[in-house]
Every structure is written in structure tokens, then in C-alpha cells.
Amino acid sequence: MNEFIIIAGPQAAGKSTVIQRLTEQYQNIRPLFPRNKSPLLFPLQESRQIVVHTHALLGGIFMTAEHEEEVVRCDLSRMDAVLSRKGDRAVYLDECNIFTIAHAAAHGIHDTKSHYDEYMMRLKLARAKVVFINVPPGESWLRRLPKYEQRLIYFPRRQHGAIMRRYRAYLERLHPLLVGLYHRVELSKEEIDGCLPEDTVMREVCEALTRLSSAFR
């Protein structure tokens, strides 16, 4: 039976890096499993990034309510597709997923109960687990600062200060919403300190997955 694992956390917590390294390491040890017990690790592209790239947006601060709705539709339809594949032995790794509700709230969209219920219905059917990699907003800012500065070339110089303030304010607004949602979701879950060295974070993620998921034991 399939399993569904969400790797979540604030901006620049290392979610994408963890998913990439998990996929690489898992493929290296997969031949050690008996053929009929070897699940496939299947990383999914983050729905938020699909929408951002589709609309050529320069970051989450430029997303609208319509963009947020598009992310939710992408997530829900993809989970429906995963749930329909009952004969697979796959572990699906998704970044963000239900935590996009926190991003929507950070944009001032607070009527998200129906979305939360839609996510939770599917996630419970998928036996979903959550690994939440947590870093404070100040750390997110320091890690993201070079990328934010690169994006300034697309804006007039007179707008640079205001745009950088918007980026930082969004990180500050988003963090408590993500943490609150992590504590709210009724799924098997573990929190990792994302401020630790990368190799330590990776080791702790792997240890958390062995406790959460039979596929990693």
C-alpha cells in the first residue's frame, strides 16, 4: 500500500534539500530490499512552485488569492490520483501540501476551513505522515537573502527597499501560522530543528522517518 509523507517547514528550512538527499540515498539502498518488498520513493514537485513558475512570479509575496486557490486544486487533484493507485508500493514525498493553508492565511485569506477538511480527508486516507523542519524567521531571512537580492534586478531601484521589507515581513507573518498548523494537524508527525548542521538535520529526518513509516525500517 502507498504511503504519503509531507516534508514541511518555513522558507529556507532545507525541505527541498532533504527530499533530494532522501531520494538519492534511498535509491542507493533500494537493491538491498527483497524485490517484492522494495517500495519506490516518489518525490512530487511542490504545487506552490508549479503555480509560481506557471505565472512567472518572483516569490510567494506576489501570489494572489486566485493563485492560492490554484495551489489547493493542484494538491487535491494530485492526492486523488495517488489514492487511486491502490496497487502501487510507493512512498510519495510532498513538500508543503496542507501547509499551503498557512501561506494563504499569511496573504490574508482566513476562510480556509473547507480546504483544511478537504486536505485532511485525503491525508488520512493516504496514511500521511509529517516531518516538520523548523527554523525561526531570522534564519529563513539570512538563508534566503541572496536569492531575494538576485530578484531585485527585475524591479526599479526605487522599489528595492520596499520589496525587501515585504519579503521579510512575509517570513515573520508565515512562521507562526506554519507552526500553529503543524500542531493542529491530526497526523503522525515529528518536528526537526532545522538550525542544526545539514548532516545532523538529515540524520534526524531519517530517524524520524523510521519511527513514522514502515517503508524506512
pLDDT at residue number 34? 46
What are the mean pLDDT values of the chain's consecutive 10-residue runs (217 residues total)?
A: 91 95 75 55 92 92 93 95 85 95 90 93 95 98 97 96 96 97 97 96 92 83
Percent helix, percent strand, percent coil in the chain, to nearest 5: 65, 15, 25
Cα atoms found within 13 Å of the Cα of residue 1, Cβ hemisphere only = 8
Alpha-helical regions (H) of 55-192: 65-84, 100-106, 113-125, 137-151, 160-184
Residue 33 is predicted with a pLDDT of 46
Using CA atoms, how far apart are residues 207 and 142, in angstroms rounded to an integer? 27
| Distance (Å, whole) CA 26 – CA 41 | 7
Q: What's the pLDDT at 29?
A: 55
* Dist. CA 72–CA 130, nearest whole Å: 18
What CATH architecture applies to the domain 3-216?
3-Layer(aba) Sandwich (3.40)
